[in-house]
Amino acid sequence: MQIRTLKDALSFGDLPAVERIGFILFITFCFIFPWIIKGGFAQAVMIQFLIFCLYGLGWNLIGGYGGQVALGQAKNVGMSAYTVALLMVRWNIPFWVCTPLGVIVATIESFVLGYFLFRLRGHYFAIATIAVSLVWQQLFINWNFIGGARGIELPLRETPNFIYMQFDSPVYYHYFAFVLVMIAILYMNWFRKSRLGYQLRAITANEDVAESLGINAHWVKVKAYCITGIFAGMGGAFYTVYYSYIDPFSVMHLELSIMIALMTMIGGAGSMWGPIIGAMILIPLDRYLGAWLGGRGILGVDFMIYALMVMIISAYEPRGIWGIIEKARRKR
Amino acid sequence: MVLLEVTDLTKDFGGVAANSHISLDIEKGEIIGLIGPNGAGKTTLFNCIVGYHRPDQGKIRFKDKNITGFKPFKTNREGIGRTFQIMSISGDLTVLENVMIGSFCRTSDRRIAREEASEILNVVELEKDAEAYMTELPIATQKRVGLAMALATRPELLMLDEVASGLNPKETEEMVALLQRIHKAKGLTVFVIEHVMEVVMPISQRIIVLDGGQKIAEGKPRDIASDERVIKAYLGEKYAKGRKNRGSI
Amino acid sequence: MEMLLSTLVSALLMGMLFALVALGLAIIFGVMNIVNFAHGEFLMVGMYTAFLTATIFSIEPLLTLPIAAMVGFLLGIASYYMLVRYLLKGPMIAQLLGTFGLMIFLRYLAMCIFGPDYKTLEHGLLIGKSIMWGPVVLSYPRLGTAVLSMLGFGIIYWMMDYTRLGKALKATALDVEAAGYMGIDTEKMRGLAWGLGGATVGIAGALLINFYYVFPTIGILFCMIAFATVALGGFGSIKGAFIAGLIMGMIIDLGGTYLGPQYKFALIYLTFFLVVVIRPKGLFGW
C-alpha cells in the first residue's frame, strides 16, 4: 500500500509530454539557479518564489480543488512561524524539533476552525475566514508575551549552524525551500489521483450530488483545510529561520492571505501547475516592480496590477492561465 | 423481505404540506414507480428518504434500521443510491473519473475504483465515452453517466429521479430497456419517479400515486391506469366526471 | 451614569451611519445575491471625494454630499457593467475573488494617489463642535450625520416600497426570470442596484469625513462592520440593516469605551460569528 502511494506520487506518466518536459526544466532551473545567478537580490527573489509556491500549492487544495474561498492562509503561516520562533528564542530548542511542533499547531488551528467554519457556505465562509484572520492579527499585535507589534527576532549565532538552520549563504536556504516545494509537488501529484482529490472536486462541482455519492462533504473539506494548514505551517517555519525575524505584519497579515489566493487564481486554481505559474509571474513582478516603484516613492502599483489581473481572470476565465492553456489544448 | 419502509411521513415547507402522512413499503427486488402530477410531492418524498430534508414527522426504515434524518452521505453508505434530474458534475473530469467518484465510496484504492468504474461503464454501454468530458456529451449520455455514478456506490436500493426527462422516445425506450437489464442482472431494487405514466407503466411491478402531497393510490400498473382518483388527479375533475357519466349511459 | 448616557446616545448616532453603510450592501445582495467585497472601498472613495472637493474648492463639507453620491453612483454602475456582469456567469469563487480584486484595486489606487497618510477635514459647519443637552454631550458632526443618514435611509426605504423603480428592483430580487417576463429590464435593475448601493455608501463616506480621518486602507474596517451589520439584519433586508446598524453602533461604541478600544473590532467579528452560527438568516432575513 505504502509503496503504491509512493509510486503514485512519483509517477507523472499520465501527464502529456509537454508538461513533463516543463516540469523537468523547472526542476533543473531551480537546481542550478544558485550556481548561475549570483546576485543577492535575485537569489532572495528566487527563495521568495519558492516560499510562495509552497503556500500556493497548499491553498490550491482548499481554494482550487475544493472551491472554498478561504482567505486565512496567513494565520496558519503565522501560527507555525510564531511557535517555531518562540521555542527557539525562549527555550533554545533546535529547529528540527520546533518545525514539527509548529506544523502541528497550525494544523490543529486549521482543524478547529475548519470544523466550525465549514458549517457556513459560500460568501459567509469567505467573510468568516477574513474575520478570523483579522482577530488573530489584532490579538498578536496586542499580546506582549510573543513580542506584540515588535515581533520576535532570532538570536544571531556566531557560526553557521545546521541545528538552528542558520547559514551565511542563501544557497542553503534555497535548497531547503526547493526540497519543501518538491515534497509539496509530489504530494499534489499523489493528491490529484487520490480518493480525497476526486471527492474534493466532486464537492466543488456540486455538493448535493457529491453527498448522494456517499461523500461526507463537511469532513472532506475539514481534511483538505488541515492539509492546507500543514503546507502553510512548513512555509511559516522556513520563513522564520530564513528571515530570522517575524512580526504580526509579515506573517499574520491579511495581505499575505490575499496575495496567496490571488496568485493561485491567476495561475490557475484547481490545477497542478497553476500555483507555480502564478508565483512565477507575480513574485518577480512584485519584487522588481515593487523595488523600482518604491524607489520612486510610488506605492501600490504592484497590487493594482494583480488586482486587475484577478478581475480579468475571474470575469473571463475563472480557471486562470492554466485554464486558458487547457482550453486551447482541448480545442485541438 | 421489506427493504424500505416509510411510515406516516409528513413534511411541510412554511405551512404548505409537501408530503402528508405517506406510508409505503418496498420489497427487495421490486421495481416500484412513483407517479403524480407536477407539485405532487414526489421529489420531496425522495429527498426525505435520501436525507436532503428532515421529515417533520414519520419514520423511515431501511433494512430494518431506522434511518430517519440521516444525512445523504449516510443513507448512501447504508445502501441507497440516487440520481438527479440534472446531474451536473465536474466538467474537468472525464466520464470514467466521474464514475470513479462513486466507486471511491467503497474503496480508497485508485486501481480498484478504476476497474469497478469501467465495469459499470460497460453495464451502461458507455465504454467508448469513458475518456470524454461531461460537458461534451448529449443529455441522454449524461443521464446514463448519472446512473453509472449512482450504481458505482453499489446501492441495494436505486432511486431514480426522472431518468427519462429530456429524452426523445427512442432514447426513453433504450433507457427503459437498460433499467430492466440492470434490474435483472443485479437483482437491484429500483424506485422510479416519473410524471410521464408511459415510462413507468411497462417496467414497474407496482405503482404508487401521489397528488397534493398525499398517497391516493397504490397497485399494479393495470389497476392504476383505470383508477378513478388517478385519472382525476392527472386529467382534472371534469374529465373524470364526463367519463363516469358516459359509463352510466 | 452621565458617561453611559453620553456613550449610549453617541453610539446610537453612530449606528445610524453604520445602517446607511450597510444599506448599500444589503441592496446589492438583495437584488443579485452577490457580496460586494469592495463596499468599504466605495466608502473610502466617497470620503476622499468629499475631502478633495471640500479642500480644493474650500466649500462646506456638507455641500459635497451630492457630489459624493454622484461619484458613488457612477462607480457602482461602472463596476457592474465592467466587471460584475461577467462575474455572475462564473462559479462562486470567481464572484468572490472578482469583487475582492476590485477592493484591492481601489485601495491601492488610493494609496498611489494620496499616499498612506491619514487625512482629516479641519473646517466645516459641524466639525469639532458639540452642545450639552442636559447631562449628555452631543457632538455636532455625529448628530448631523445621524439626521442625514436617517433621511437617506428614509428616502431609499420609501423608494423601495412606493415607486415603480423600487417595485421593479424588488421583483428582480425575488425572481429574475419572472421579473424579466413581466417586462422589467433586469439587467438595468441590477446595474441600478449597484448604482444605488454606491450612491448610498458614497453619501455615508461624505458624512463620515466630518468626524473621522480617511486613509487608503480604511475600507476593510467598514467593510467588516457592514458585513456584520448585514449578517445581523439578514442579507438583503433593508429594515434589518437599519436595526442591525443601531445594534452594531452600540456594540462598537460601548465595547470600545468599557473594554478598551483595541477590542472593539474583535467585538464586531465576534458578533458576526455568533450571528452566522446561531441564526444564519439574521434578524429579518428570508
C-alpha cell recorded at residue C240: 434589518
Distance CA B10, CA C17 (A): 46
Asked if pLDDT for residue C123 goes beyond 80, the answer is: no
Q: The domain that contains B204 carries what CATH number?
A: 3.40.50.300
Asked if residue B58 has pLDDT above 60, the reply is yes
Hey, is the C-beta of A52 within 8 angstroms of any chain C C-beta? no
Chains A and B are in contact, defined as 3 or more C-beta pairs closer than 8 angstroms: yes
Residue with cell 486587475: A308
Kindly state whether residues B163 and B140 are assigned to the same domain: no
pLDDT in tens, B179-195: 888 888 878 888 888 87
For residues A79 and A109, the answer to whether their CB atoms sit within 8 Å is: yes
User: What is the rounded CA–CA span in Å between residue A324 and residue A125?
Assistant: 28
* Average pLDDT over chain A, rounded to an integer: 84
Q: Characterize the bridge pairing of strands B80-82 and B157-161.
A: parallel
Report pLDDT for B249.
35
Question: Using a CB-CB distance cutoff of 8 angstroms, which residues of chain B are in contact with residue A192?
Answer: none
Q: B152, B174, B207 — which closes off a domain?
A: B152
Cell numbers representing residue B82 in the block: 440516487
- Print the domain residue range for B118: 89-152
Q: How many CA atoms lie within 13 A of C78 on its CB side?
A: 11
pLDDT (tens digit, 9 = 90+) per residue, C222-264? 888 888 888 888 776 778 888 888 888 888 888 877 777 777 7
What mean pLDDT comes out for the span B174-178? 85
| Beta-carbon separation of B73 and A209 below 8 A | no
Report the 10 Å Cβ neighbour count for C73.
20
Looking at residue B26, its pLDDT comes to 87
B169 inside domain: yes
Residue-wise pLDDT for A157-204, tens only, equals 777 777 777 777 778 888 888 999 999 998 998 888 888 888 898 888
Q: Which residue in chain B has the smallest CA separation from A198?
A: B101
Average pLDDT along chain B: 80
Site of grid cell 452642545: C131
Looking from the CA of C74 toward its CB, the CA atoms found within 13 Å total 8
Q: How many CB atoms lie within 10 A of CB C162?
A: 10
Max mean pLDDT range (A216-230, A274-288, B133-147, B149-163): A216-230
Where do the domains of chain C lie?
2-278
Q: Any CB–CB contact under 8 A between A35 and chain C?
A: no
Cα separation, A215 vs C231, in Å, equals: 30
Assign B104 to helix, strand or coil: coil
Of B71, B92, B97, the CB nearest to A211: B71
Place of cell 455572475: C88
Q: How many domains does one find in chain A?
A: 1
Find chains touching chain A: ≥3 CB pairs under 8 Å: B, C
Interchain CB distance below 8 Å, A314 and C280: no
pLDDT at A302 over 90: no
Crossing angle (nearest 10°) for helices A320-331 and A274-284: 130
B170 part of a folded domain: yes
Q: How many domains does chain B have?
A: 2
Q: C12: pLDDT confidence band, cut at 50, 70 and 90?
A: confident
Is B73 in contact with A211 (Cβ distance < 8 A)?
yes
C-alpha to C-alpha distance for C200 and C194, rounded to whole angstroms: 10
- pLDDT beyond 80 at C175: no
Residue C1: the pLDDT is 67
What's residue C79's pLDDT? 92
Confidence of residue A332 (pLDDT cuts 50, 70, 90): low
Are B162 and B69 contained in the same domain? yes
Asked if the structure places residue B243 within a domain, the reply is: no
A254-267 and A40-59 are packed helices; what angle lies between their axes, rounded to 10 degrees? 80
Q: Are the C-beta atoms of residues A154 and A241 closer than 8 Å to each other?
A: yes
Calpha distance B30→B32 (Å, rounded): 6
What gap in Å lies between CA B90 and CA A204, rounded to an integer?
Answer: 8
- Among C86, C104, C115, the residue with its CB nearest the CB of A258 is C104
Q: For cell 535548497, name the residue.
A: A175
- CA atoms of B57 and A20, how far apart (whole Å): 58
Q: B245: pLDDT confidence band, cut at 50, 70 and 90? A: very low
- A210 in contact with B, Cβ within 8 Å: yes
Q: Which of A105-119, B79-93, B108-122 has the lowest mean pLDDT?
A: B79-93
Give the count of beta carbons closer than 10 Å to the beta carbon of residue A158.
6
In this model, does residue B56 exceed pLDDT 80?
Answer: yes
Q: Do A135 and C91 touch (CB under 8 A)?
A: no
Same domain assignment for residues B32 and B102: no
| Paired strand residues for C131 | C138
Q: What pLDDT was estimated at residue B238?
A: 53
Q: Across residues A319-331, what is the average pLDDT?
A: 83
Contact A201 B90 (CB under 8 A): yes
Check whether residue B171 and residue B211 sit in a common domain. yes
CB contact under 8 Å between C101 and A122, yes or no, is no
- If you measure CA to CA, which chain A residue comes closest to B75? A214
Q: Per DSSP, which regions of chain A are E strands? A: 152-153, 245-246
Residue B40 lies in a domain: yes
Is residue C44's pLDDT more than 90?
yes
Instruction: Indicate whether B176 and B145 sit together in one domain.
Output: no
Q: Which grid coordinates belong to B137?
A: 456529451
A332 is written with which cell numbers?
485541438
Verify that B39 and B109 share a domain, yes or no: no
Q: What residues of A are in contact with residue B109 (Cβ under 8 Å)? A: 4
Angle at C12 between CA C9 and CA C16, to 5 degrees: 140
Residues B126 and B29 in one domain: no
Terminal Cα distance for chain C, rounded = 39
Does residue B49 share a domain with residue B161?
yes
Q: What is the pLDDT of residues B144-162, one digit of tens each?
A: 888 888 888 888 888 888 8
B238 in any annotated domain? no
Give the dihedral of Cα atoms A250, A254, A259, A260; nearest 10 deg.
Answer: 90
Same domain? For B138 and B168 the reply is no
- Coil/strand/helix, residue C138: strand
Residue B22 forms part of a structural domain? yes
Residue range C2-278 in CATH 1.10.10: no
The amino acid at C231: A
Q: Which of A116, A269, A307 sits opposite C104 (nearest CB)?
A: A307
Nearest CA in chain B to A220: B73
Q: Give the domain range for residue A42.
A: 2-331
How far is C-alpha C278 from the chain's CA centre?
A: 24
Q: Are residues B71 and B164 in the same domain?
A: yes
Label the pairing between strands B189-194 and B31-35.
parallel
List the B57-62 sheet strands across, edge first: B16-27, B2-13, B57-62, B65-66
- Give the contacts of C60 (CB within 8 A, at least 6 positions apart): C54, C124, C125
B214 found inside a domain: yes
Average pLDDT, chain C: 83
Rounded Cα distance, A42 and A47, in Å: 9
Contact at 8 Å (CB) between B203 and B33?
Answer: yes
More reliable by pLDDT, A106 or B124: A106
Chosen from A118, A119, A127, A316 to mutate, greatest number of chain C CBs within 10 A: A127
Q: Is the model's pLDDT at B12 over the cut of 90?
A: no
Decide the pairing of beta strands A245-246 and B57-62. unpaired
Q: Which of B110, B132, B152 is the last residue of a domain?
A: B152
d(CA B231, CA C198): 56
What is the pLDDT at residue C71? Answer: 93
Distance from C-alpha of A307 to C-alpha of B42, rounded to nearest angstrom: 47
Task: For residue C101, give the nearest of A67, A138, A314 by CB distance.
Answer: A314
From residue B177, alpha-carbon distances to B30, B180, B181, B183, B203 in Å are 16, 5, 6, 10, 9
Residues B21 and B72 in one domain: yes
H or E element that contains B46: helix B42-50
- Residues B19-55 have pLDDT tens digits of 888 888 888 888 888 888 777 788 888 888 888 888 8
- The residues pairing with B27 across neighbouring beta strands, listed in sequence order, are B2
**Nearest CA of chain A to the CA of C273: how many Å?**
7
Contact C86 A315 (CB under 8 A): yes
Confidence grade of residue B248 (pLDDT, cut at 50, 70, 90): very low
**The C-alpha cell that represents A164 in the structure block:** 538552528
Could you tell me the three cell numbers for A53? 509556491
Say whether residue A305 is in contact with chain C using an 8 A CB cutoff.
no
- Write the ipTM: 0.83
User: Tens digits of per-residue pLDDT, C131-161?
Assistant: 777 777 777 778 888 888 888 888 888 888 8
CATH of residue A86's domain is: 1.10.3470
